[in-house]
Amino acid sequence: MKTEILGVVAMYAVTILMAIPFGKYIAKVYAGEKTLLDSVFNPLENLFFRISGIDRKAEMNWKQHMAALLTVNFVWFLLGMFVLMNQDWLPLNPDGNPGQTADLAFNISISFVVNCNLQHYSGESGVSYLSQLFLMFLQFVSAATGMAAAVILFIALKERTAEKLGNFYNLMVISCTRILLPASILVASILAFNGTPMTFEGKDSIVTMQGDTVAVSTGPVAAFVAIKHLGTNGGGFYGTNSAHPLENPNYLTNMVEMFSQMIIPLAMIFALGFFLKRKKMAWMIFGVMTLGFLVLCVPTITWEVQGNPAIAHMGVDMGSGAMEGKETRFGSAASGFWSIATTVISTGSVNAMHDSTMPLSGMMQLLAMMTNAFYGGCGVGILNFFIFIILAVFISGLMVGRTPEFLGKKIEGREMKIAMIVALLHPLMILAGTALAAAFPEITSANLNNPGFHGFSEMLYEYTSSAANNGSGFEGLGDNNPWWNITTGFVLILSRFIPIIGPVAIAGLLANKKYIPESAGTLRTDSATFGMMVMAVIIIITALSFFPSLTLGPIAEYFSMR
C-alpha cells in the first residue's frame, strides 16, 4: 500500500514539474513565437487555411469569436447526429453495430461536442469504428475550443486597450496541431507498446483461462485513449472506460493516463503567467487550485485505503482497502487519486466504479465537480476560475471602499452581472435537474439500481457530471432512455457555452477599457492574501448551493452505514 501511495505522489510531482516548461511552450505557441515544431506544422496549417479560405490573420472582437465558436460547434453537432444515427450502413462497421436512436444520438453528439463525453452507451457495442473516429475528432476540436477561448482571455488581459483579440480559427487549429496532436502521438505510442489495440480489424477471438473461446472487441483504441485524456474528454473506447484491461493494461499505463489528463490543465495555468508576464499570479492561481485539489484528494485516498468498516466488522481483511469496483492491478490508492483527479479536472474517465466508492468519497467526487474551479478542463478551467477572481475582486473592493480593479481595468456593473449569471447557472442546472428527476419517480425510479440515499446520489451525480462537463457517472443509474438523454443534453449545452461566453464577454469588455497603471492603493491580485479570498468565495458559494443536497445523498448514506 505504501508503494502505491508513493507511486501516486511521484506521478503528481512529475506532472507539476513537467507542467512548468510545457506551459512556457504553450505560451510561446499562442504568442506566435518560434518553436521547434514550426517546420513540421507550418505547412500543414497553411494548407488547411488555404483550402478553407479562412484568413488566420484577420483579427476578431469577442462577439465575432463567440459567433465563430458557436457556428462551428453547431456544424459538428449535426454531423455527429448523422454519423451516429446512420452508422449501421456507413463504412468501418466490421462488428455490425446498429444505428442509434434519435435521443441517444442527440445526447452523444452534444456530449462530445461540449467536451463532456457523458456516455449513455457501451463503446465497443454501441458505436462503429467510423463513429469512434468521428468522436475522436470531436475530442480534439472540443478541447481546442476550450483552449482557444482561454487564450482569448489571455490576450484581453494584456496591459493595453484593444478591441481585436486574435483569430478564433487560428487559435483552435494551433491548439490541435502544436499541442494536442504531438502529445497524443507520444501517449498513444506508449499505450500501443504496452498492449492497447491499434487496429481497424473486427473482434478478435481469445481462449479464456476456463477454456472458453470468446470474441473481444478491438479497434483504434490507443489513439482514442490518448486524446480522451490529453483533451480532458474522458469518453472510453470500451464501456468500462480505463478499467478495461485493453484500454489501460497495467500500472505504467495507469500512471501515464493520469499524467495525461492532468498535464494540460496544469500547464495552462503557467502558460497564463508566461503569456502575461505575471508569473506570480500564475503561482497564486496554482496554489489555490492545488490546495482545493489536495483537500478533496487526501481524504478520499484515506477512506478508500482504510476500506469499508461494515465489511471489516464481518471479519474480512481490509488490508487492500475498499476493493469493490476496483481493479487489483491498480489498487485502492491509485483508484482513489484518479477519482478526484478525473472529477476536479473534468476528464470524467474512470479506472474504478465511482458507484462503489465509500459514501464520503462519492461526496468528494461530487464536490470536485460542484466547485468546478480546481484545475478544470483544457482551457475552461482557467475560465471558470476567472469568474471567481472577478467575484473576489468585487467583494474585496467593497470591503476596502475602492472601485474594484483587475489588472488595471475597472470591474463595473456589466461585468458583475455576467459573472453572477455564470456563477449561479452551475448550481441551477444541477439542482433543478435533480429536483425534476426526484419529482417524477414514475419515470426515473425504474432506472435506479439502488433505492434510498444512494439512489438520490446517483441522480445528483448524473446532473452534476453533466453541468461540470465531466462525463463520469454513478453507474448504478440506467441512463439510456429519453428522459436522461434529453434532460442531460440540455444541461450539457447550457453548462458548456454560457460559462465560455460569460468570461470571454467580461474579458472583451475589460479589453476595451482604459488601462489604469498600478499604484500604492491598487489591490494586489497576485498575493497569497488575495488567493485566500478567492478560496473563501469558492467555499462559500459551493457550501450555500450544494450542502443541502449532499446531506440527502452521500452524507446520509454515510451515517446510515455507520
pLDDT band at 314 (very low <50, low <70, confident <90, very high): confident
The mean per-residue pLDDT over the stretch 181-197 comes to 96
Number of domains in the chain: 1
pLDDT band at 164 (very low <50, low <70, confident <90, very high): confident
Question: In this predicted structure, what is the pLDDT of residue 313?
Answer: 83
In this prediction, what percent of the chain has a pLDDT beyond 70? 99
> Is residue 410 classed as helix, strand or coil in its secondary structure?
strand
Question: In this predicted structure, what is the pLDDT of residue 516?
Answer: 79
- In tens, the pLDDT along 524-546 reads 888 999 999 999 999 999 999 99
- In tens, the pLDDT along 228-279 reads 999 999 999 998 999 999 999 999 999 999 999 999 999 999 999 999 999 9
Q: What is the C-alpha separation between 456 and 307, in angstroms, rounded?
A: 23
The DSSP line for 192-221 is HHTT--------EEEE-TTS-EEEE--SSH
Pull the grid cell for residue 124: 465497443
- In tens, the pLDDT along 344-381 reads 999 999 999 999 899 999 999 999 999 999 999 898 99
Least confident range of 92-96, 281-285, 477-481 = 477-481
Cα angle: 245, vertex 251, 254; to 5 degrees = 75
pLDDT band at 206 (very low <50, low <70, confident <90, very high): confident
Question: In this predicted structure, what is the pLDDT of residue 475?
Answer: 77
Cα angle: 497, vertex 502, 507; to 5 degrees = 130
Residue 520 has pLDDT above 80, yes or no: no
The DSSP line for 328-395 is TTTHHHHHHHHHHHHHHTT----SB-GGGS-HHHHHHHHHHHHH--SS-STTHHHHHHHHHHHHHHHH
Question: In this predicted structure, what is the pLDDT of residue 320?
Answer: 85
The whole-model pTM stands at 0.94
The mean per-residue pLDDT over the stretch 459-473 comes to 94
Cα angle: 110, vertex 418, 528; to 5 degrees = 100
Cβ-Cβ contacts under 8 Å for 529 (sequence gap 6 or more): none
Summary mean pLDDT of the chain? 92
Domain membership of residue 338 as a residue range:
2-561
Least confident range of 247-256, 452-461, 513-522 = 513-522
Question: In this predicted structure, what is the pLDDT of residue 531?
Answer: 94
pLDDT band at 300 (very low <50, low <70, confident <90, very high): very high
Which of 3 and 114 is assigned the larger pLDDT?
114
The mean per-residue pLDDT over the stretch 384-404 comes to 88
Question: In this predicted structure, what is the pLDDT of residue 61?
Answer: 93
Cβ-Cβ contacts under 8 Å for 267 (sequence gap 6 or more): 18, 19, 20, 22, 23, 26
Q: How far is CA 248 from the centre of its chain?
A: 19
Residue 489 has pLDDT above 80, yes or no: yes
Cβ-Cβ contacts under 8 Å for 517 (sequence gap 6 or more): 408
Cα atoms in the 13 Å half-sphere on the side-chain side of 458: 22
Question: Quick one: 275 exposed, middle or buried, by C-beta within 10 A (0-12, 13-18, 19+)?
Answer: buried
Question: In this predicted structure, what is the pLDDT of residue 212?
Answer: 85
Question: In this predicted structure, what is the pLDDT of residue 353?
Answer: 92
Residue 133 has pLDDT above 90, yes or no: yes
